[in-house]
Amino acid sequence: MPVLVNGVELEDAEIERELAHHSGSPEPTRHAVVALILRHLVRAQARRLGLPDSDDEALTQALLEREVGLPEPDEASCRRHYDHHLEHFREGEWVEAEHILFQVTPRVPLDALRATAEATLAQVQADPPAFAGLAIARSNCPTGAGGGRLGRVLRGETAPEFERAIFAARHPGVLARLVETRYGLHVVRVVARCEGVQLPFDAVRQSIARALAAAARDRAWKQYASLLIGGASIEGIDLGGAETPLVQ
């Protein structure tokens, strides 16, 4: 069934070209079609407002500034973000860790997997030197061959839930609970940590402002894209919950 945007059909060749930008998404064809719909709507709106022709990014920015408004983060909002996320503004901070991964896969019974992971956690808590041998025997991660060693981990290098757990540990040792991530269940031992140094606000103020501005733009774009879709006649696709951005 063809997809029509305000009576204009999306061409197969156009969709094919757009697909190349969405190969990593779970539904590449759908995401490509949604991106094209939004591109058509943005360009149509820009023409109605008499905006000069430009690339997609520039047109989107111009529309958001004109119709939504994109205020620059002020000193107070940057300071609040800094004060509430001090742990993200440290230099030289790292954690040396080891883990034993019990991977969640479609065919693995979760109750049995959790029971094995919990039993392994109890073993290493009672006998920490056994950690390396159990990692070699039981871990589903390639690091298991090396006794589960991850080496020094910096912020941003692991899954967020794993990062939170290891950086929250104030002292070396086996963590009291399993760490659950998108990959499975982890028995984790913190070997050492370096606190690093706290960066002063003035040193990171510009990077905070850029991050806050980017987040504000993303929120504005999602709201504006919903308004464009809601005011258009679109046939051939159900756009309920569509969140594909125009510009990746």
Show me where the domains of the chain are located: 4-74+204-235, 90-198
pLDDT of residue 199: 95
Q: Residue 100 pLDDT > 60, yes or no?
A: yes
For residues 207 and 75, give the distance between their C-alpha atoms in angstroms, rounded to a whole number: 12
Q: Percent of the chain beyond pLDDT 70?
A: 96
Q: Which residues 6+ apart lie within 8 Å of 116 measured at CB?
A: 102, 138
Q: Residue 242 pLDDT > 70, yes or no?
A: no
pLDDT of residue 24: 78
CB atoms under 10 Å from CB of 218, counted, come to 11
Residue 174 identity: V
For residues 201 and 80, give the distance between their C-alpha atoms in angstroms, rounded to a whole number: 10
**144-179: per-residue pLDDT in tens?**
999 999 999 998 899 999 999 999 998 999 999 999
Confidence of residue 247 (pLDDT cuts 50, 70, 90): very low
Where do we find the tokens 């993303």?
Answer: 218
Q: Residue 94 pLDDT > 80, yes or no?
A: yes
Tell me the backbone φ, ψ of residue 95, rounded to 5 degrees.
-130, 130
Q: How far is CA 10 from CA 40, 46, 103, 200, in A?
A: 9, 19, 42, 52
**56-75: per-residue pLDDT in tens?**
999 999 999 999 888 899 99
**102-143: per-residue pLDDT in tens?**
999 888 899 999 999 999 999 999 999 999 999 999 999 999
pLDDT of residue 46: 94
pLDDT of residue 93: 92
For residues 121 and 174, give the distance between their C-alpha atoms in angstroms, rounded to a whole number: 8
Q: Which residues 6+ apart lie within 8 Å of 227 measured at CB?
A: none
Confidence of residue 20 (pLDDT cuts 50, 70, 90): confident
Confidence of residue 180 (pLDDT cuts 50, 70, 90): very high
CATH topology of domain 90-198: Chitinase A; domain 3 (3.10.50)
Q: How far is CA 120 from CA 112, 142, 146, in A?
A: 12, 18, 17
Lowest-confidence range among 14-23, 50-59, 238-247? Answer: 238-247
For residues 63 and 151, give the distance between their C-alpha atoms in angstroms, rounded to a whole number: 47
For residues 85 and 34, give the distance between their C-alpha atoms in angstroms, rounded to a whole number: 35
Confidence of residue 240 (pLDDT cuts 50, 70, 90): low
Q: Residue 23 pLDDT > 60, yes or no?
A: yes
For residues 115 and 120, give the distance between their C-alpha atoms in angstroms, rounded to a whole number: 9
For residues 19 and 37, give the distance between their C-alpha atoms in angstroms, rounded to a whole number: 13
